[in-house]
A and B are shown apart, each in its own frame.
Chain A
């Protein structure tokens, strides 16, 4: 597809280039570059993959190959403003993590991996978040929500939809 508008802003390019001296080749910038795009846009559209590849001197397929491996970067549409990862691994599951996931999805009116219609919240199941001392837990943006209960989970959904959560 031919587009005239660039997805990567000069600021993103500058952030990527600032990391270049850290690595002996430009391919190693792939993951940092994808993070920089995703931090900004909450997804990495296919056009951005092509632009990252051009910037790093790679084939778009090489960047797409790496990107698709992680199943971390959405490509079709942005994640919700808050991307919530609810842990379902063993320590959280033993303390009700799966029920919390169901409850959050129910409160938000979406299925797991879904995004609310207002684009405020995406809820995804996560494997161990490394916060088993606070099980059941959830990572929403950069905030770790600890020892979740039905009440705190509901409050989280309310806040996220009101734009009060990170």
Chain B
């Protein structure tokens, strides 16, 4: 563990790392050429299944298993969508991979397309990453010229076209069916599942949607093998037959109040404290952490006492967080008001709710209006019950919405109120000394412009 060498990020900081020549010099594309020659698509699926790779986009679904949901012997076309709509606050690992080592991503895409028998892949890139666009387009052009994309790749008989598709600054496009709708030229309203994309996805054809980091992991599994991948991380819990484990390296994005923000590669299962004190150089200005977001804002909060939680797929859930999410760790120091944190979170989700499901559209906007009122010194203790109720009723888990955005909006509310209730109560009593105990209905509030 102490001698962990970055693999996914091995090229970061190396001059010219985004070029084909650089990637080839590091052994890149040789595994792909070998696989295309020697292996069948089902072999690649078995390889990825055996590795235990779980999707890096946030949900942690086993990648190889996802691929097996595609119908057998489908006449095609089958589509592969690469989700690079990385918009979860605090997350930037995909950007680093696309900018500094785009060929690693492309090799993973070609391998995944070969495994799934997709002949067209769309890489859905968020608008906010113009540098990634340029680097990826340059790398795609190089790959076409080298016969790594296009017709009959390396004489294998396998053909693949890879296209970039630009988003327009909407968080919901990171939800896989929202992404599909957006690609089809519609508003990005997530679809009711089933049918899942593997059965009926893009252009009503079988579709796999995978994250950029997942693609990089596929490339490295092909190069270094299953045993290497499974030697890193946290094995599955022998007492829980449903736990697929947390294998492999992971990119952790560290930001907020740390001395050295950045994207760091570490074995899955590193604790938040190890990451902050080690790679991050500690909480900034010698202060203490009040709370830490474990994996993007929608995962909720760890308290200082919970910082020894391992950041694997199972860890954050054990202390009441939604999950590992995108592994974006954001440190909030002791000087920050938790009310301000929650206001920021509620504003984000009120802005990004797509408006399709009423509980999410109204719940996110309502929670923002309440936080605005609390911050304006008109809070009441009863508001905390109401916020908790909103948090408990919107989302896929209570069964009131189509996608998980509302669960992500609810979790910071639920976690903040549960773990920092005393601070909320003190704030409300201090800022509203004459009205904190009132329980009458609040008069209609002016609409807060979240946009």
Residues of chain A having any CB pair with chain B under 8 Å: 22, 24-25, 27-32, 34-35, 56, 65-66, 69-73, 85, 88-91, 93-95, 126-135, 139, 142, 144
Contact = CB atoms under 8 A, between A and B. Distances in A.
A93 B131 CA distance: 23
A139 B126 CA distance: 13
Chain A CB within 10 A, most for which of B168, B261, B345: B168
B128 A130 contact: yes
A129 B88 CA distance: 9
Q: Which 9 A-B residue pairings sit nearest by Cβ, starting from the closest? A: A30-B185, A132-B255, A69-B187, A70-B168, A142-B130, A91-B255, A27-B185, A72-B168, A89-B89
B142 interface: no
Contact of B188 (A28, A69, A132, A135): A69
B186 interface: yes
24 contacts: A24-B77, A29-B185, A31-B183, A35-B166, A65-B186, A65-B187, A69-B187, A70-B188, A72-B170, A73-B168, A88-B347, A90-B345, A90-B348, A91-B256, A95-B256, A128-B88, A128-B348, A130-B126, A132-B89, A132-B253, A132-B261, A132-B328, A139-B128, A142-B131
B200 interface: no
A78 B326 CA distance: 36
Interface stretch (B61-69, B90-98, B386-394, B417-425): B90-98
A24 B203 contact: yes
Contacts of B131: 142, 144
A48 B336 CA distance: 47
A31 B87 contact: no
Contacts of B88: 128
Contacts of A88: 344, 347
Contact of A133 (B92, B182, B203, B352): B92
Nearest to B293: A90
B160 to A, nearest CB: 13
Given A89-B348, A128-B90, A130-B91, A94 B183 contact: no
A30 B167 CA distance: 11
Contacts of A24: 77, 203
A139 B254 CA distance: 20
Nearest to B127: A72
A34 B185 CA distance: 10
Interface string B244-264: 000000000111110001110
Nearest to A65: B187
Nearest to B205: A24
Contacts of B333: 94
B308 interface: no
B161 interface: yes
B28 to A, nearest CB: 25
A88 to B, nearest CB: 8
A65 B182 CA distance: 12
Interface in B184-208: 184-188, 203
B185 A70 contact: no
B86 A130 contact: yes
Nearest to B355: A69
Interface in B94-131: 94-95, 126-131
